[in-house]
Structure 1
């Protein structure tokens, strides 16, 4: 059983490895959550980079510097007002047709939201929208 699960995890890691659209979507979703309350704090930046780097497929496919650069780019766009955030939603939408990618995007955004110990109401609004677009059960992920 564990061998099967390990094989599936390795298959997923290999499948997404090097996919810049996946990296950008995960970073965009994380940035949307970090900016949900109107400001991006230093602690949120650190939690966001940590959450993205914890994704096995991303850390296997990209070095830490690339992950950080992409995250910084998305955080900058998130701080750019409605136009910047609208562009981030477009980045996210590009990979949501793939169920495995969609769940990883929502999970990472959830990790960012929970990074300070609680999910704020503004973050929950972003998470709900992400989960709906991704066709993912947010309550199931929150309970995991």
Structure 2
């Protein structure tokens, strides 16, 4: 069973190779959740980046440098006002247009992981997750129960 799981994860990682639009969409979703309260703090950014760098599929499909570069690009957007926040949503929309249902589920689940990093999901984080879910066509409730 473990061998099949490992094979599935390896296959997922291979499928993601070169899909930088998806990586940027995932990073944008994480930043949207982290900045939901109005500001992406250093602690929130560190937690989100750690989740991305240690994700079993992303960390195989992309180098640490690729992940950090994509995350930094999206984090800068969060600090540039309304136009930056719209840019984050556009990144998620672009990822949706170019990704499979499995990829979009991974995007949403990673964003949920980031929101739950402190043990709870606040109202503003929940709204950001619902926005992300709406963009990718998935219900957040399905994953939170």
For normalisation by structure 1, the TM-score amounts to 0.89
CA contact (8 A) 1:78 1:84 kept: yes
CA contact (8 A) 2:130 2:139 kept: no
Give the superposition deviation at 1:8.
2.9
Specify the alignment match of 2:87 in structure 1. 87
- Give CA deviations for 1:78-98 in whole Å, capped at 9, x if unaligned: 111110011111111112242
Give the distance between the partners of 1:18 and 1:58, measured in 2 at CA. 11
Alignment of 1:1-144 (within 5 A): 3-97=3-97, 98-143=100-145
Give the distance between the partners of 1:2 and 1:62, measured in 2 at CA. 23
Give the superposition deviation at 1:26.
0.5
- Which stretch shifts more, 119-128 or 57-66? 57-66
Give the distance between the partners of 2:90 and 2:56, measured in 1 at CA. 24
Give the superposition deviation at 1:72.
1.4
Moved over 6 A (4+): none
Give the distance between the partners of 1:133 and 1:89, measured in 2 at CA. 8
Mind listing any 5+ residue stretches in structure 2 that lack a counterpart? none
Paired residue total: 143
For normalisation by structure 2, the TM-score amounts to 0.89
Mind listing any 5+ residue stretches in structure 1 that lack a counterpart? none
CA contact (8 A) 2:92 2:135 kept: no
